[in-house]
């Protein structure tokens, strides 16, 4: 039973008009220019979009093509609406750090496409990686990464399934971090993470700053575009060389180095040397690319890796089959480059359709450039021959993502342009402006701009996932006894000065009407929502005690605090749940 049916059943459905109901599924629109641009009331989107929340430290769930924000998943931030950062469960994961800078959101894979099980997201500010369960769309693990700063590029293993997760550290620091060490001992770090256990497998140190990450479709390689092989600490020092590298890591050699014990332990982590002079043989391949590259993306057929020039107007196309030969020593690393098409000024990131076309974001030109990969390979380097179409973007585009484009099932329907500047596109909201995500139809020969969508404070990147992959896995309510402290009967347990309050929540009553403690008592509330209705959440707020959280159906949350203020304090439900919602209260009495 959903909430609307419940209210009809009790005779008060009209009072809660507008609350969501179950709607029939909609057929995914076809190609040939017949994509539907409007998602009407009662219709569902064809795709889930998962956005990094940028400086907010959250992940946002949008419907595509409607671009409606469906949910904001707190990750590295405090979120009073849900109680993230207030409850014991969330505090255990956050460990006191409420500042986050989420950059890259990626889903878990099986056989080269999303499996709908997990999302992963990085925190560049405090050097963490979080995992989100897609069945609940809630964060279930956060891993702190030692020995690094600037945790930036993140990508899961695509084949045969996501067992490893790779993370690139963009800022070079001493490893271990000793301020007395010279800059020649500063390193970028490529971290391998066990995605299921959320534990660090190992780290590889290199001289370069490591930027964006990718993995291949065979489970053999991970990659990083890099800069500053000079190991400079000022801009002028970082620009001394005339080239940088696309770096490819050989997973077979990583496993071999681990088996042979070819590592040192630094802060409890196995660290492997991947530097140019003393690195483990055959572990790292450095392919020279134009200076200051940005981004590395793999074509859906798994054949090519594409790195953008950023300050060079080209994209570098690397044949991964030739990379196999380069690791074997049969060819030089630079011989893996098979094309270098001119695309425009400031190329950053590339995404793909299912027809052999690539789409590159050009920051300086404020354009999306559509170009054909095969034609680029057949054309002279640095020529414009491969360009198929160009569309203006508003303005200064950063990341770019097409529907299902990070999988072997890229479908060439929608493209998202994530832009840094929204000048004149929206109502003025003061000196700090919104940014602008733009939805583009790429189903035909010409790209078509469909819609602008304001975005708040650097939502860095996104992925667009078919609805059928995710929707079947998402639960309507929690598994009641997944939480070890789930409450089915209310009661109070006193252990000295620690008072443990177990409380059920069923609309419109809490399981206890009065809770009495002494001033100075340590108090733990464990609250379980026992309502079976799939969208009937309850809030739990204690007046003047700085405590508020939401409990979804069959979910359990707990909070611990000191009862330091004497008096009578009302506990009340913050989520409208019943005709008698306002009466859903309990007294919290703190005796002096």
Query: Is the pLDDT confidence value at 14 over 60?
Result: no
Is 33 domain-assigned?
A: no
User: Percent of the chain scored above 90 by pLDDT?
Assistant: 89
Picking from 306, 286, 284, the residue whose alpha carbon sits closest to that of residue 295 is: 306
pLDDT digits (tens, 9 = 90+) for 354-395: 999 999 999 999 999 999 999 999 999 999 999 999 999 999
Q: What are the tens digits of pLDDT across the range 337-363?
A: 999 999 999 999 999 999 999 999 999
Looking at the DSSP bridge assignments, the partners of residue 233 are: none
pLDDT of residue 457: 86
Contact (Cβ atoms closer than 8 angstroms) between residue 233 and residue 179: no
Pairing of the two strands 556-562 and 567-572: unpaired
Do both 261 and 356 map to the same domain?
Answer: yes
Residues 272 and 242 in one domain: yes
Percent of the chain surpassing pLDDT 70? 94
- Is 16 contained in some domain? no
pLDDT of residue 541: 97
| Ramachandran angles phi, psi of 381, nearest 5° | -65, 145
Residues 390, 452 share a domain? yes
CA 256 to chain centre: 31
38: in domain: no
The pLDDT-based confidence of 22 (bands split at 50, 70, 90) is very low
Q: Does the residue 348 lie in any domain? A: yes
Please tell me whether residues 322 and 217 are part of one structural domain.
yes
Q: What single-letter DSSP state applies at residue 426?
A: S
Residue ending a domain, choose from 453, 471, 489: 471
Domain hosting residue 284, numbered range: 47-471
* Residue 24 included in any domain: no
497 and 463 within one domain: no
Phi first, then psi: give them for residue 15, nearest 5 degrees: -75, -20
Indicate whether 485 and 466 sit together in one domain: no
At which of 471, 494, 518 does a domain end? 471
Q: What 3-state class would DSSP assign to 321?
A: helix
DSSP secondary-structure letter at 583?
A: G
Whether residue 500 sits in one domain with residue 423: no
pLDDT digits (tens, 9 = 90+) for 495-518: 999 999 999 999 999 999 999 999
- Encoding tokens for residue 136? 């609940």
pLDDT in tens, 399-443: 999 999 999 999 999 999 999 999 999 999 999 999 999 999 999
For 320-342, what is the mean pLDDT? 97
Q: Give yes or no for a cis peptide into 475 (omega within 30° of 0).
A: no
pLDDT for residue 21 is more than 50: no
Do 326 and 207 belong to one domain? yes
How large is the average pLDDT for residues 24-43? 64
CATH code, domain carrying 144: 2.130.10.10
Q: Is 318:336 a contact under the CB 8 Å cutoff?
A: yes
Instruction: Single out the residue in 471, 491, 507 at which a domain terminates.
Output: 471
- Whether residues 441 and 497 share a domain: the answer is no
Tens digits of per-residue pLDDT, 197-256? 999 999 999 999 999 999 999 999 999 999 998 889 999 888 888 899 999 999 999 999
pLDDT of residue 121: 98
Residue 2 in any domain: the answer is: no
Query: Mean pLDDT score of the chain, rounded to an integer?
Result: 93
Is residue 181 a part of any domain in this protein? yes
Q: Give the pLDDT band (50/70/90) at residue 123.
A: very high
* DSSP symbol at 280: P
Residue 371's pLDDT is: 98
Question: Across residues 7-34, what is the average pLDDT?
Answer: 38
Q: Is the pLDDT of residue 128 over 90?
A: yes
Specify whether 544 is located in the same domain as 570: yes
Note whether residue 28 is domain-resident. no
Residues 444 and 550 in one domain: no
Q: What is the CATH number of the domain that holds 579?
A: 2.60.40.420
pLDDT of residue 240: 85
- Judge if 292 and 392 occupy the same domain: yes
How many structural domains comprise the chain?
2
Give the confidence band of 25 by pLDDT, cuts at 50, 70, 90: very low
Strand partners, 494: 499
| 3, pLDDT greater than 90 | no
Q: Report in angstroms the alpha-carbon separations of 584 from 492, 513, 542, 588.
A: 19, 9, 13, 13
The alpha carbon of 284 is separated from its chain's Cα centroid by a whole number of angstroms, namely 27
């Amino acid at each position: 039973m959903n909430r609307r049916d419940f209210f009809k059943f009790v005779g008060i459905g009209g009072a809660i008009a507008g609350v969501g109901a179950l709607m029939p599924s909609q057929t995914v629109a076809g190609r040939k220019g017949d994509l539907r641009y409007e998602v009407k009331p009662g219709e569902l989107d064809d795709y889930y979009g998962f956005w990094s929340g940028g400086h907010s430290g959250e992940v946002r769930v949008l419907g595509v093509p409607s671009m409606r924000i469906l949910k904001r998943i707190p990750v590295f931030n405090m979120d009073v609406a849900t109680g993230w950062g207030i409850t014991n469960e969330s505090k255990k994961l956050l460990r006191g750090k409420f500042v986050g800078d989420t950059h890259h959101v990626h889903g878990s894979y099986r056989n080269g496409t999303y499996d709908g099980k997990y999302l992963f997201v990085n925190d560049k500010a405090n050097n963490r990686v979080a995992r989100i369960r897609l069945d609940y769309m809630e964060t279930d693990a956060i891993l702190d990464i030692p020995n690094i700063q600037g945790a930036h590029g993140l990508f899961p293993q695509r084949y045969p399934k996501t067992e490893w997760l790779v993370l690139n550290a963009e800022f070079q620091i001493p490893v271990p971090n000793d301020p007395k060490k010279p800059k020649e001992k500063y390193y970028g770090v490529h971290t391998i993470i066990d995605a299921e256990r959320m534990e660090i497998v190992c780290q590889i140190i290199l001289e370069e700053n490591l930027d964006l990450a990718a993995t291949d479709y065979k489970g053999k390689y991970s990659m990083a575009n890099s800069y500053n092989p000079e190991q400079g600490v000022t801009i002028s020092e970082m620009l001394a060389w005339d080239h940088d590298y696309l770096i490819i890591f050989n997973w077979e050699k990583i496993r071999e180095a681990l088996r042979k014990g070819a590592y040192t332990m630094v802060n409890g982590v196995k660290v492997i040397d991947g530097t140019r002079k003393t690195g483990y043989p055959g572990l790292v391949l450095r392919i020279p690319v134009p200076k200051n590259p940005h981004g590395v993306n793999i074509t859906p057929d798994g054949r090519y890796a594409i790195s953008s020039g950023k300050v060079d107007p080209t994209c570098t196309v690397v044949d991964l089959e030739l990379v196999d030969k380069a690791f074997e020593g049969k060819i030089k690393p630079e011989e893996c480059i098979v094309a270098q098409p001119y695309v425009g000024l400031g190329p950053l990131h590339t995404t793909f359709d299912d027809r052999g076309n690539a789409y590159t974001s050009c920051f300086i030109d404020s354009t999306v450039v559509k170009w054909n990969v095969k034609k680029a390979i057949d054309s002279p380097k640095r020529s414009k021959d491969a360009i198929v179409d160009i569309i203006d973007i508003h303005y200064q585009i950063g990341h770019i993502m097409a529907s299902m484009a990070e999988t072997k099932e890229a479908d060439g329907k929608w493209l998202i342009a994530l832009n840094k500047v929204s000048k004149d596109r929206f109502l003025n909201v003061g000196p700090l402006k919104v940014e602008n995500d733009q939805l583009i139809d790429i189903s035909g020969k010409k790209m078509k701009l469909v819609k602008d969508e304001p975005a708040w404070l650097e939502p860095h990147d996104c992925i667009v996932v078919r609805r059928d992959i995710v929707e079947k896995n998402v639960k309507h309510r929690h598994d009641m006894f997944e939480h070890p402290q789930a409450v089915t009967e209310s009661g109070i347990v006193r252990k000295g000065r620690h008072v443990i309050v177990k409380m059920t929540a069923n609309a419109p009553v809490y399981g206890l009407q009065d809770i009495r403690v002494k001033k100075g008592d340590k108090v733990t509330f464990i609250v379980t929502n026992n309502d079976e209705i799939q969208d009937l959440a309850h809030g739990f707020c204690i007046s003047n005690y700085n405590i508020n959280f939401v409990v979804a159906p069959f979910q359990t949350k707990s909070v611990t605090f000191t009862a330091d203020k004497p008096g009578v304090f009302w506990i009340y439900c913050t989520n409208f749940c019943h005709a008698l919602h306002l009466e859903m209260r309990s007294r919290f009495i703190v005796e002096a």
